[in-house]
Amino acid sequence: MCGRIYVKTTLEELIRNFAFAVKGGDIDALGNRFPRWNGAPSQDYPIIIRSLVREPDTFGHIFEAASWGLKPRFWKKGMNAPFNARCEDIATKPMFKTAYRSRRCLVPINGFFEWKDIFGTGKNKQPYAIAMKDDSPFALAGLWEIWKDPETGIDLKTFTIITCEPNEMMATIHDRMPVILHRADYERWLSSEPDPHDLMRPFPAELMTMWKIGKGVGSPRNDSPEIIEEVADDPDPEPTLL
């Protein structure tokens, strides 16, 4: 799964790193929320989508603000708003299949977090930060939707991050990883092609790195650069008692 991400730049710098996309109408509203060192579901993020409107100023790829947690048009309060979608299921599950065919997105980030279950009990987990070895920003594969709030009548954009089997590095800490796309594949992922299933594969481990971080990442309220600082190995970790 992928339930935490971080963006360690300003919004303007992030956008400059993905210069093939232009700003959408509401993206500037996110400006004062970044850097974000410990991002969690339900928060708003910049995503890149293919514009569905053929107008000179908008046709192409655009940055839009969206809330993390997918809400299709049929979503009702009380239903689950998944923050992850398994690549094996998205072509057939009602929650994902329509968005997969026509509303795929990129989620630009600097890194993400994952937890290793040290003793297999689920009670003592070591968090890790994961990023590119050259520290460059990258994009996760996602799906997006628009849900109309029946109380306000406002259309809200939402998204989910797709996961796949882990590469060799990620397999040492978890059985899933987010789908990371090569830059050469961004255009195809955002295209009108209905089923680019071959792009949803583990990213090469040799291009990535990971390191142990402190357990403060467990709370999204802890949102400072210290979150991604490397910590020393615990020479004698003890299992948490049930």
Confidence of residue 206 (pLDDT cuts 50, 70, 90): very high
**Model pLDDT for residues 147-184, shown as the tens digit of each residue:** 999 999 999 999 999 999 999 999 999 999 999 999 99
- How many Å apart are CA 214 and CA 70, to the nearest integer? 29
Cis link prior to 35 (omega < 30° from 0)? yes
**Model pLDDT for residues 23-64, shown as the tens digit of each residue:** 987 899 898 899 999 999 999 999 999 986 544 444 589 999
According to DSSP, the residues that pair with 178 across neighbouring strands are 163
Domain ranges, ordered by start, for the chain: 5-228
E strand intervals along 2-103: 5-7, 22-23, 36-39, 44-50, 61-68, 84-86
CA dihedral 165, 159, 91, 191 (to 10 degrees): -100
State whether residue 155 is helix, strand or coil: strand
Active site residues: 2, 114
Q: What is the pLDDT of residue 67?
A: 96
Is the Cα torsion angle 165, 169, 171, 177 positive or negative in sign? negative
In terms of CATH, what superfamily is 5-228?
SOS response associated peptidase-like (3.90.1680.10)
Among candidate residues 139, 182, 142, 179, the one with its CA nearest the CA of residue 163: 179
